[in-house]
Amino acid sequence: MGTEVIKGAKQETGFLSGNEMAALAASQINFHIMGYYPITPSTEVAENLDEMKAEGEHDILMIPGEGEHGAAAICYGAATAGARVFNATSAQGLLYALEQLPVQSGTRFPMLLDVVTRSVSGPLDIRGDHSDIMMALNCGWIILLAKDPQAAYDMNIIGVKIGELEDVRLPVIVAYDGFFTSHQKRRVQYFTDKSLVQEFLGSHPPKYVSIDPRNPVTIGPYMNDPDLINNKKQQSMAMEAAYNRLGEVFDGFYELSGRRYGLLETYMMEDAEVALVILNSAYETSKEAVDRLRAEGFKVGVMMPNVIRPFPAREIRECLKRVKAICVADRQESFGGWGGNMTIEVKAALKDDPDNRTLVLSRIYGLGGKEFYVEDAIDMLRETTGAADKGRVDVPFEYVGATPGDLNFNPGRIQNPLTKEETSQGIIKVTRDEASGKWDIKGVSARPLNEVPKRIAQGHSACSGCGIFPGLDIFFKGIQGDVVVLYHTGCAMVVTTGYPYSSHNVTYIHNLFQSGAPTLAGVVEAFRERQRRGEIPAADDITFVMITGDGGMDIGMGHAIGTALRNHNLIILEYDNQGYMNTGAQLSFSTPLGHATSTSHVGPYQAGNKLQHKDTAQIMAACNIPYVFTGIATQYRDLIKKATKAQYYAKNEGMVYGKILIACPLEWKSEEILGLEIIQTAVDCCFFPLYEVEHGITTITYNPEDKGKKAPVTEWLRLMGKTKHLGKPEYKDIVERLQKEVDRRWERLKAMAANPLL
């Protein structure tokens, strides 16, 4: 790009990452709506846009979904209402949204979705490969690829244009590599004047809209045979139209920007006898390999399609016509398909040329973000050259970069498993009068309980001062005997299980954070059923505990409620740090009003989070499960007693939900040493009351008013960097609104505690 004469409009040189360029394009397009849900590595797109919004740089209405499925649905609804719509996601997020994708394309509402490609779980891997985007091949969306930060910007503009063409009207994905492109800064060019972008795109006249009462339409009818096949034929025709018209859109963009894109990206392919077909950032790296091999006299080249839906089969056939052998390198596998999806599709494309004799090697590389080096590309090209010379392929399909391991090394136990005796030493003595339901819990004091082995080992990699681990340990002090835990995705999961390590001294399961509760329900029921069938000793006694963050109780709320309504014998313990901290502090529904997060910035046009915090404990109490509680580490006696009760109820009656507030010094921007003081102050100002709901009866277990400790919320807010701005006079009304809501909920709770019917 550096040497190319820039045509067209005035542009600025910048030094920006793929996510920054994607956000910049979106801000210049000025979409009406962005519906999104944070997921690494795409999250920065929404974060950057939120920051720009706080500075007044665009008007996009940013709507955080409760999960990617909801976010996709927000986008769909907005698109039917005639809005220009944007979303960005990755990996599981794409898969969770996947159901909505054919709805969007099948009912023909264009929008733009940036897929910042990442490995699909499980096991969970946050780094980049193409296993997510290939899942979207059959969704009816146009899929453009962007190989570097510049292309991320350009393709977003091109994507909107192509998707909105009258004879196309299809939603568009722009896919660029997670981390390699999304987080790498490069020298880039962008338009100084955003109106040029908007003029290039033109207006957005929707075909049908859902908000025109004078023109009533039915969007999404019940459409069986013989009609659906014709709807799909129309979609197929639209995709063909996109294929035919991409060239003119690329030409138009070249006129505007001076940057030329085609259906294919090629390097040294004109006389190449051997070639590598490889997508996105690895294509760029492979150009180095081509140069080095060319210097040795090998006629090699590299090629990638810039668009994979519609698939440019004709251009690929033409490009590879004289190539003796190619290696198609896929950053994912279609398991059992003897290649990744690009191998399969390139082979299919070549098959349609009866004269084609190109040999094809299929190689899987770079899964889970494994680095791709110039030497890897050289090795692939050398091996392909060997095949071309011999005229045959010895190894048609293989993994590159997978390693067998040290066969003399066999991982095993490093310690003896915890015993029931160790974990139930009888230090806590519990009696419950069955008739009255009254509890007598003795022996809850700090010192002796330190003799009980911890369920979590030392050596986890949480940030300094993380509140999760004191919180969980104190809770587990009240749980005697054997436990099995399930952790949702989140900080506690990531910092305790980085492979090949685990901090869990007990059996642990991970599942993605919309599905932990039903997964553990399945475990509990299978345990009981196998016990009933005599496969497991009847004396075995396990307490099942799910650990989730507040984020997991957003995206997983529906599943948690379902599990509660079925009343399985398990405990859900939520550690609430008021945001999606594992992914860089995006707001959650538990983020309090006015608090700054990376998706609720503070600036001249925005004053932090706009919503009051979610009352998850009351939502779960409304499910009428036997026991609901809240707790904090500084009131450890209270929390341990509640854990003790929780264990009883989970074993004997059904589901328990508990919520503990824990400090996150990194993202609360507070001093590590003050973590416990902050959560205690949150309780003392009644933001986070300590109480329990036992068989529907509410009991306040710590009343700061009785102790003469009741504080205004400002005492709590002044302790954190994320709420520092709330001390300024211009945010007085926000603090007042927060105080009012805290007071209202506290008074209501007191009324509930005073009246057993409430």
Site for other proteins in 402-461 (CB under 8 A): 402-407, 409-415, 417, 445-451, 454, 456-461
Three-class SS of residue 259? coil
Complex with other proteins: residue 312 or 665, whichever CB lies closer: 665
User: Looking at 401-409, 433-441, 519-527, 691-699, which segment touches other proteins (CB under 8 A)?
Assistant: 401-409
Residue identified by tokens 């986070």 is 688
Complex with other proteins: residue 213 or 405, whichever CB lies closer: 405
Contact between 617 and other proteins by CB under 8 A: the answer reads no
Complex with other proteins: residue 387 or 662, whichever CB lies closer: 662
- Alpha-carbon span 242 to 260, nearest angstrom: 18
Complex with other proteins: residue 116 or 239, whichever CB lies closer: 116
Q: Which one-letter amino acid corresponds to residue 286? A: S
Complex with other proteins: residue 123 or 534, whichever CB lies closer: 123
**Among 127, 488, 614, 641, which residue interacts with other proteins (rule: CB under 8 A)?**
127
Do the Cβ atoms of 643 and 547 come closer than 8 Å? Answer: no
Nearest approach in angstroms of CB 300 to other proteins is 15
Q: How far apart are the first and last CA of the chain?
A: 69
Q: How deeply is 211 buried, as exposed, middle or buried, from its count of CB atoms within 10 A (0-12, 13-18, 19+)?
A: exposed
Complex with other proteins: residue 322 or 454, whichever CB lies closer: 454
Could you tell me which residues come within 8 angstroms of residue 543 by beta carbon, excluding any fewer than 6 positions away? 479, 481, 482, 483, 484, 571, 647, 650, 651
**Among 26, 120, 126, 735, which residue interacts with other proteins (rule: CB under 8 A)?**
126
Do the Cβ atoms of 382 and 376 come closer than 8 Å? Answer: no
Do the Cβ atoms of 273 and 290 come closer than 8 Å? Answer: no
Q: Which residues pair with 575 in a beta bridge?
A: 549, 660
Size, binding site for other proteins by CB under 8 A: 99
Contact between 716 and other proteins by CB under 8 A: the answer reads no
Contact between 604 and other proteins by CB under 8 A: the answer reads no
**Among 81, 165, 268, 463, which residue interacts with other proteins (rule: CB under 8 A)?**
463
Contact between 583 and other proteins by CB under 8 A: the answer reads yes
Specify the pairing of strand 172-177 against strand 112-117: parallel
Site mask, other proteins, residues 470-499, x = CB under 8 A? Answer: x--xx----------------x--xxxx-x
- Alpha-carbon span 661 to 681, nearest angstrom: 11
Complex with other proteins: residue 578 or 698, whichever CB lies closer: 578
Contact between 285 and other proteins by CB under 8 A: the answer reads yes
Contact between 371 and other proteins by CB under 8 A: the answer reads yes
Beta-carbon count within 10 A of 352 CB:
11
Nearest approach in angstroms of CB 469 to other proteins is 4
**Among 36, 298, 311, 372, which residue interacts with other proteins (rule: CB under 8 A)?**
372
**Among 104, 281, 569, 612, which residue interacts with other proteins (rule: CB under 8 A)?**
281
Q: What is the DSSP letter of 354?
A: T
Residue identified by tokens 């994912």 is 332
Nearest approach in angstroms of CB 708 to other proteins is 19
Complex with other proteins: residue 222 or 409, whichever CB lies closer: 409
User: Looking at 12-20, 159-167, 196-204, 435-443, which segment touches other proteins (CB under 8 A)?
Assistant: 12-20
**Among 666, 700, 717, 738, which residue interacts with other proteins (rule: CB under 8 A)?**
666
Specify the pairing of strand 142-146 against strand 307-309: antiparallel
Could you tell me which residues come within 8 angstroms of residue 566 by beta carbon, excluding any fewer than 6 positions away? 521, 655
- Alpha-carbon span 184 to 284, nearest angstrom: 13
Contact between 469 and other proteins by CB under 8 A: the answer reads yes
Contact between 694 and other proteins by CB under 8 A: the answer reads no
Contact between 505 and other proteins by CB under 8 A: the answer reads yes
**Among 35, 675, 689, 704, which residue interacts with other proteins (rule: CB under 8 A)?**
675
Complex with other proteins: residue 406 or 706, whichever CB lies closer: 406
> Dihedral of the CA atoms 188, 193, 195, 197 (nearest 10)?
-10
Contact between 537 and other proteins by CB under 8 A: the answer reads no
Which residues in 630-649 contact other proteins (CB under 8 A)? 633-634, 636
Complex with other proteins: residue 338 or 399, whichever CB lies closer: 399
**Among 56, 122, 202, 721, which residue interacts with other proteins (rule: CB under 8 A)?**
122
Complex with other proteins: residue 237 or 446, whichever CB lies closer: 446
Residues in the chain: 758
Nearest approach in angstroms of CB 447 to other proteins is 4
Contact between 676 and other proteins by CB under 8 A: the answer reads yes
Backbone angles phi, psi at 374, to 5 degrees: -55, -40
Contact between 294 and other proteins by CB under 8 A: the answer reads no
> Dihedral of the CA atoms 69, 73, 76, 80 (nearest 10)?
170
SS3 for 115-166 is EEECCCCCCCCCCCCCCCHHHHCCCCCEEEEECCHHHHHHHHHHHHHHHHCC
Which residue, among 54, 48, 1, has the nearest Cα to 24 in the 3D structure? 48
Contact between 465 and other proteins by CB under 8 A: the answer reads yes
Which residues in 69-98 contact other proteins (CB under 8 A)? none
Which residues in 174-193 contact other proteins (CB under 8 A)? 177, 179-181, 183-187
Site mask, other proteins, residues 14-53, x = CB under 8 A? Answer: xx-x----------------------xx------------
Specify the pairing of strand 542-549 against strand 656-661: unpaired
Helix (H) or strand (E) holding 660: strand 656-661
Contact between 466 and other proteins by CB under 8 A: the answer reads yes
